Amino acid sequence: MIWNETKECMSRDEMSNLQSARLVKLVDRVYHNVEFYRKKMQAVGLEPGDIRGIEDLDKLPFTTKDDLRDTYPFGLFAVPNSQIVRIHASSGTTGKATVVGYTRRDIDVWSECVARCIAMANMGREDVIQVAYGYGLFTGGLGGHYGAEKMGATVVPMSTGNTKKLINMMIDFGVTGILCTPSYLMHIAETILEMGVKDRIKLRASLNGAEPWTEKMRGKIEEMLGIQAHDIYGLSEIMGPGVATDCHLHRGLHVHEDHFLPEIVDRETFRPVEDGVTGELVISTLTKEGIPLIRYRTKDLTSIDHTPCECGRTTARIARFTGRSDDMLIIRGVNVFPSQIEAALLEMGGTTPHYLMIVDRVNNLDTLEVQVEVEERFFSDEIRELENLTRKIENVIHQAIGLAVKVKLVEPKVLERSMGKAVHVIDNRKFE
Amino acid sequence: MFVKQLSVFMENREGRLEQAAEVLKDQGINILSLSMADTMEYGMLRLVVSDPELAKSALREKGFSAKLTDVLAVRLDDQVGELYRLTHILRTNGLNIEYMYALAASEKKAIIVKTSDGEAAAAAVLAGGLALYGNEEL
């Protein structure tokens, strides 16, 4: 089912015209309402009139996550706070959150986009959908929730946590669709098989995102549960989940191009690349009111395909993500930068001790172990002191990144150094 | 009054204690007493040695985390009730024992003890009629 045929199936020319018209308005809006953008454009001698359509897009400067951080909390908002109806936030690189605000219309557009994604997963108003993303500042829970409600489906706002309860409700309520991270769905699938209740569930489709996964993992989930699993992409800076999703043909993720203008740029030159070439995904939010972003560098690596899809949609498709252009890790759906660990350890006093993050996946749940070298000033001859130190570091890191971690003290100089530069991350997860 | 104890942080890895022992052997350092405390992931080796400063720097050079701590070496006779005598003194003086282990080098018999307050413990032990060893005597 196609949720919005007018927008999702328009010709490329119509789409370009719509995008151009919206881009011109967007540039005009941010120039006049956001000092940051006005200064940035003036710095390169640009005036709103210089942008006449999407052909002029690459004249505009990029926006980065650092820009959001530097203007914390509301510096990039383009409307007065009285028009903001909701705030979401994700963890930033130095403990400061990245804050985004939505107007009522933004929430409507977001819900519309998520509804399109749900339709791509072949779910509709007859479906009972469990939203098993975390509810709260994280965009996953509420974003999925509003989209599923907009669709008219019956929504079960499960959130995360109690897997057995989730499965029992899945049986009792006749749940047919689920929105959650892929690793959590793997965990749910295994629990269903363990409980021996597979023949009692009616689940037939899922939308999974907020962390990297592979085609192989998607195939495994589909096989274990006998469902169709779809990849849903999004990031809070742009909107949240629902920026793009794959249709039943699974030949890339359809971007809701009338709202999110995608570009792929070369990782080094930052010049736009052709279809099929891998580069960094850059998005301009064509219709966003609360915090419109121009050429936002997602740091996600992918390629794009503008040819129409056999499903009937004409919206451009981005390939499954191949990685990140920065050192950000996604652990249990939470964005984690090594620099956050560094900053947290710095709080322990003095200089940062050498550390190593070991990310793994145990029973389909991500784990993070942080090894910290025991230095002179930390060192005590009393075990109790060392245990206290371990707990203290665990707490500081937990506070900083919002994830429970296991800290392990190690001897100095055992942590790997490569080319004189310390290796700070070992990711043992195999996304399959 | 105090004895310098050498404490070495040890990861729970095969051969690590052997490597530490090798460093001490190569420096001609004699071990008078030792105790090993262990957790799931690491151990704490505590030693009373013939030359603590040299042992510390040699171990550090080889990548070990080592430090010196002041502990008491309380001289005890080889007879019934000696441990009680010591613990009674400490308890009645409100001192907590962090850890202790025995030392028996040649004729010197002692208990190595680290308490919540080293100075107070030393004074209490001496006032209680017990003797303390220093590094030189050992």
Least confident range of A19-33, A123-137, A150-164, A205-219: A205-219
**Whether the predicted model's global pTM rises above the 0.95 cut:** no
Percentage of residues of chain A with pLDDT beyond 70: 95
Residue A381 pLDDT level (bands cut at 50, 70, 90): confident
Structural element, H or E, at residue A240? strand A240-246
Q: Which residue from A minimizes the CA distance to B7? A: A381
A294 min Cα distance to partner chain B (Å): 49
A372 min Cα distance to partner chain B (Å): 12
Least confident range of A188-197, A360-369, B59-68, B99-108: B99-108
**Helix A338-346 × helix A383-401 angle, to 10°:** 130
The ipTM of this complex is: 0.81
Position A164, amino acid: K
- Residue A428, CA distances (Å) to A360, A362, A418, B80, B88 in order: 5, 10, 18, 57, 54
- Residue A185, CA distances (Å) to A182, A361, A362 in order: 5, 14, 14
The pLDDT assigned to A95 comes to 56
Half-sphere exposure of residue A271: CA atoms within 13 angstroms, side-chain side: 2
Residues of B in contact with A376 (CB under 8 A): 65, 67
Nearest by CB: A374 against B9, B37, B114: B9
Alpha-carbon span A356 to A408, nearest angstrom: 10
The pLDDT assigned to A323 comes to 79
- Per-residue model confidence as pLDDT tens digits over A44-59: 999 999 999 999 999 9
| Residue of B5, B12, B41 to mutate when probing chain A, most A C-beta within 10 A | B41
- Give chain A's contact residues with B (Cβ, < 8 Å): 374-376, 379, 381-384, 386-387, 408-414
- Per-residue model confidence as pLDDT tens digits over A236-247: 999 999 999 999
| DSSP-assigned beta bridge partners for residue A265 | A272, A280
DSSP string, A367-394: EEEEEEE--TTT--S-HHHHHHHHHHHH
Q: Which residues contact residue A313 at a Cβ distance below 8 angstroms, ignoring those fewer than 6 apart? A: A2, A8, A9, A247, A254
B43 min Cα distance to partner chain A (Å): 8
Alpha-carbon span A247 to A229, nearest angstrom: 10
Q: Which residue from A minimizes the CA distance to B6? A: A381
Residues of A in contact with B9 (CB under 8 A): 374, 379, 386, 409, 411
Pairing outcome for strands A304-305 and A317-318: antiparallel
Alpha-carbon span B65 to B10, nearest angstrom: 8
- Residue A65, CA distances (Å) to A28, A113, A296, A425, B114 in order: 22, 23, 8, 21, 52
Alpha-carbon span A107 to A142, nearest angstrom: 10
Residue A431 pLDDT level (bands cut at 50, 70, 90): low
Alpha-carbon span A353 to A86, nearest angstrom: 39
Least confident range of A105-109, A136-140, A400-404: A400-404
Q: Do A411 and B37 touch (CB under 8 A)?
A: no
Contact B58, B24 (CB under 8 A): yes
The pLDDT assigned to B105 comes to 72
- Per-residue model confidence as pLDDT tens digits over A145-179: 999 999 999 999 999 889 999 999 999 999 999 99
Query: Can you tell me which residue has the tokens 């006049």?
Result: A32
**3-class secondary structure, A84:** strand
Higher pLDDT, A339 or A298: A298
Q: Do A379 and B44 touch (CB under 8 A)?
A: no
Alpha-carbon span A400 to A405, nearest angstrom: 11
In sign, the C-alpha dihedral spanning A359, A363, A365, A368 is: negative
Position A237, amino acid: E
**3-class secondary structure, A248:** coil
Q: Which residues contact residue A8 at a Cβ distance below 8 angstroms, ignoring those fewer than 6 apart? A: A2, A116, A254, A256, A313, A314, A315
The pLDDT assigned to A147 comes to 97
Q: Do A376 and B67 touch (CB under 8 A)?
A: yes
Query: Can you tell me which residue has the tokens 């309380």?
Result: B74
Contact A305, A315 (CB under 8 A): no
Cα angle value B49/B55/B60 (rounded, 5°) = 145
Helix and strand totals (H; E) in chain A: 11, 23
**In whole numbers, what is the pLDDT of chain A averaged over residues?**
91
Position B10, amino acid: M
Nearest by CB: A383 against B39, B63, B65: B39
